[in-house]
Chain A
Amino acid sequence: MTTAPALALERVTCTFASRDDPAQRYTAVRDATIEVAAGEFVSVVGPTGCGKSTLLNVAAGLLAPSAGGVRVFGAPLSGVNRHAGYLFQADALMPWRNALANVIAGLEFRGTSRTEAVAQGEDWLRRVGLGGFGNRYPHQLSGGMRKRVSLAQTLILNPQILLMDEPFAALDIQTRQLMENELLDLWSADRKSVVFITHDLEEAIALADRVVVLSAGPETRPIGEFVIDLPRPRDVAEIRLTPQFLALHTQIWHAMKEEVLKGYARQQRQ
């Protein structure tokens, strides 16, 4: 393997023109450079509305940056990022497919044989704790179960890079901690590169090897990086209580606070 990072955003700038008035422009992200090494778990935190999802869509290849570029294992990215799996914030399951059919959708798109796909799909449903729920449709599952189906749907393709956009934001706190621990278990089994976007600093620290702090939008850019040297394996519920965690939290929060207040003030003005 080369030493190229798994994912590199290089001086990415994203400017959106207003649909009603093309002269009015909004720069969501400016000159953002983020690198993620192979096997590294990076959390990206920032105030709400700072363009975190925009960055992730650029990394996924769903959105072309206005300037700058993306490299995936050293190769420039054009079109959808084939090495990446994307876990969306909102529900993104196909409502007309049952859980199993949703999980194996990616395999089906790649032309895997039906029997093989179903076998793998059932295995993954069991791994995320949903064995026996394969024939349920998304509307028949709870929010947490739908998130698990999404996780299995993404991981079954064995992506080398996992992009996660506040995937657990809509879950209650207990379910959320369960899911976070499950995510860490699944991740430690075969270290993928993970970019985990969240506005929750505690979640960011508990999960990641490194936390990247973004400035308040518009013109978001990374303003700080913190290495999280907490021992693994971790239990996200327990690790929050350790002094080491609290020290890191204080340190990062100190760096973030000003930006959070800035973002809040800007939202109030609008």
Chain B
Amino acid sequence: MPGSSGNRRFWAQVAPGPRTLRAYQALLLVLVFVVWHVLTSPTLLPPVYFDDANKAAFFFGEPLKVLSRLWNWFASGEIWAHLWVTLVETMLAFFIGTVFGVVIGLWLALSPITSAILDPYIKGLNAMPRIILAPIFAVWFGLGIASKVALGVTLVFFIVFFNVYQGVREVSPNVLANARMLGASPRQLLRHVYLPSAMSWVFASLHNSVGLAFVGAVVGEYLGSASGVGYLILQAEGVFDINTVFAGILLLTAFALILDWVVGLVERRLMVWQPKAGETERV
């Protein structure tokens, strides 16, 4: 076949591989939007499943309207206040939950008797579906930021707590004995051996805990609030504005990805002392 070698060379250029990874990822996104558009547009295709041409759009939204809603939010600037509220809630929940988790994790790990007494309660609290506390927090702390932060804290706390607990338990006995021989006091052992070891476990779970702080904030907003992205979704759902609901979901997804990326940056800065895959093993 004439030109087949040219075709092959062209294919070699665009075949899926490490180089064209991003292009294919973007292509997939575009493809999803196109399929979404084609299947929901009232005019493009005759209704395949629903008896009414507008029903598909009613249930699944229309990507063009979703995107224009997003555009309007940013163009008018009204979204920033809501995003800011959600971000503040996430950050507060993350920091407060982490501090409590570290302090109580250290305390229980270094005090076996206390930990033995509290063990069933900790297990119980962890097993409890804590999202269900949201209405109680709303009653206690009102519909403002505080109730969302409280919900996020209950989610973040246990992740951090269990990691710190584990981190202290897993301190190498050699490192500990060495520090003692070098003259470390109990306080210095806490500061220079237990804490760094525990923090390495906390950082390892950073993606999880930031993600859950975010979940706590959004779910809290969704269950009752006066601002935040979860609030926008709640309002839109109340009037069956499915396009705005989807716009909110897309916004939250993008926001979560950015948050995850920032966490990755922080992690890489703080964990220079840990070998990466391919380097030597951790001692």
Stretch at the interface among A42-50, A77-85, A177-185, A238-246: A77-85
Per-position 1/0 for B38-57, Cβ under 8 A of A: 00000000000000000000
Complex Cα distance, B180 from A154, in Å, reads: 12
B280 neighbours in A (Cβ, 8 Å): 139-140
- Contact indicator A92/B273 (Cβ below 8 Å): no
Does A86 interact with chain B (Cβ within 8 Å)?
Answer: yes
Interface centre among A95, A96, A137, A157 (most CB of B within 10 A): A96
Contact indicator A93/B283 (Cβ below 8 Å): yes
The tally of CB-CB contacts under 8 A between chains A and B is: 84
* Binary B-proximity of A245-269 (CB < 8 A = 1, otherwise 0): 0000000000000000000000000
In the complex, chain B residues whose CB is within 8 Å of the CB of A86: 177-178, 181
Which chain A residue lies CB-closest to B177? A62
> What chain A residues lie within 8 Å of B279 (beta carbons)?
139-140
Within 8 A of A (CB), among B228-283: 272-275, 279-283
CB distance from A114 to the nearest CB of B (A): 14
Q: Is the CB of A62 within 8 A of B272?
A: no
Q: Is A218 an interface residue (CB 8 A)?
A: no
Instruction: Please report the C-alpha to C-alpha distance between residue A57 and residue B197 in the assembled complex, in whole angstroms.
Output: 24
Whether the pair A98, B273 counts as a contact (CB closer than 8 A) is yes
- A138 within 8 Å of B by Cβ? yes
Tell me which residues across on chain A come within 8 A of B182, comparing CB atoms.
105-106, 109, 153-154, 157
State whether A93 touches B272 (Cβ < 8 A): no
Task: Answer whether residue A90 sits at the interface, using C-beta atoms and an 8 A cutoff.
Answer: yes
Of B181, B193, B275, which is within 8 A of A85 by CB? B181
CA distance A150 to B283 in the complex (A): 14
Complex Cα gap A106–B182 (Å)? 5
> Complex formed: what's the CA distance from A117 to B184 in Å?
15
Residue A212, interface by CB 8 Å: no
Cα-based distance from A86 to B177 in the complex (angstroms): 9
Chain B: CB-nearest residue to A104: B182
Q: Which residues of B contact A138 (CB under 8 A)?
A: 273, 283
Bound-state Cα–Cα, A91 to B175, Å: 8
| Alpha-carbon distance between A173 and B272 when the two chains are bound, in angstroms | 32
The contact size tier of chain B is: 20 to 34
B183: Cβ under 8 A from any A Cβ: yes
B188 CB–A CB distance under 8 Å: yes
User: A92 contacts B183, CB within 8 Å?
Assistant: no
Contact indicator B180/A95 (Cβ below 8 Å): no
State which of A62, A81, A90, A109 has its C-beta within 8 Å of the C-beta of B184: A109
Complex: A84 Cα to B188 Cα, angstroms: 19
- Indicate if B200 sits at the interface (CB-CB under 8 A): yes
Min C-beta distance of A82 to chain B, whole Å: 7
How long is the Cα–Cα vector from A57 to B280 in the complex, in angstroms?
29
The verdict on B76 contacting chain A, using a C-beta distance below 8 Å, is no
Pick the residue among A94, A106, A109 that contacts B196 (CB under 8 A).
Answer: A94
Contact in complex: A95, B274 (CB < 8 Å) = yes
Query: Nearest-CB distance from B191 to chain A (Å)?
Result: 10
Task: State in angstroms the CA–CA spacing of A60 and B174 once bound together.
Answer: 13
Residues of A within 8 A of B272 (CB): 137
**How far is the CB of B193 from the nearest CB of chain A, in Å?**
7
Across-interface contacts of A57 in B (CB, < 8 A): 177
| Residue in B172, B179, B274, B283 whose beta carbon sits within 8 Å of that of A105 in the complex | B179
Chain B residues with Cβ below 8 Å from A140 are 275, 279-280
A234 at the interface (CB under 8 A from B): no
Distance from B189 Cβ to chain A, minimum over Cβ atoms (Å): 9
Q: How far is the CA of A153 from the CA of B181 in the complex (A)?
A: 11
A110 at interface, CB cutoff 8 A: yes
Task: For A110, list chain B residues within 8 Å (CB).
Answer: 183
Q: Is the CB of B181 within 8 A of A60?
A: yes
Q: How far is the CA of A82 from the CA of B77 in the complex (A)?
A: 66
User: Is A133 positioned at the interface, with any CB of B under 8 Å from its CB?
Assistant: no
Contact A95 B273 (CB under 8 A): yes
A91 CA to B264 CA, complexed, in Å:
29
Contact B283–A91 (Cβ < 8 Å): yes
What is the minimal beta-carbon distance from B283 to any residue of chain A, in angstroms? 4
Of all chain A residues, the one with the shortest Cβ separation from B180 is A80
Residue from B178, B193, B279 with most neighbouring chain A CB atoms (10 Å): B178
| A84 CA / B283 CA spacing, docked (Å) | 24
B192, CB-defined interface residue at 8 Å: yes
- Inside 8 A of B181's CB, which chain A residues have their CB? 60, 62, 80-81, 84-86, 154
Residues of A within 8 A of B274 (CB): 95, 139
Which A residues are in CB contact (< 8 Å) with B172? 92
Q: In whole angstroms, how far apart are the Cα atoms of A84 and B183 in the complex?
A: 10
Min CB gap A182→B, angstroms: 20
- Residue-wise, chain B 14-48 has the 8 Å CB interface mask toward A (1 for contact) of 00000000000000000000000000000000000
Given contacts A85-B181, A109-B183, contact A139 B273 (CB under 8 A): yes
Alpha-carbon gap, A105 to B180, bound state (A): 11
B178 close to A96 (CB less than 8 A): no
**Chain A residues whose C-beta falls within 8 Å of the C-beta of B192 in the assembled complex:** 94, 105, 108-109
A-B contact pairs, 9 of them (CB 8 A): A82-B183, A88-B178, A94-B179, A109-B185, A139-B275, A139-B281, A150-B178, A153-B178, A154-B181
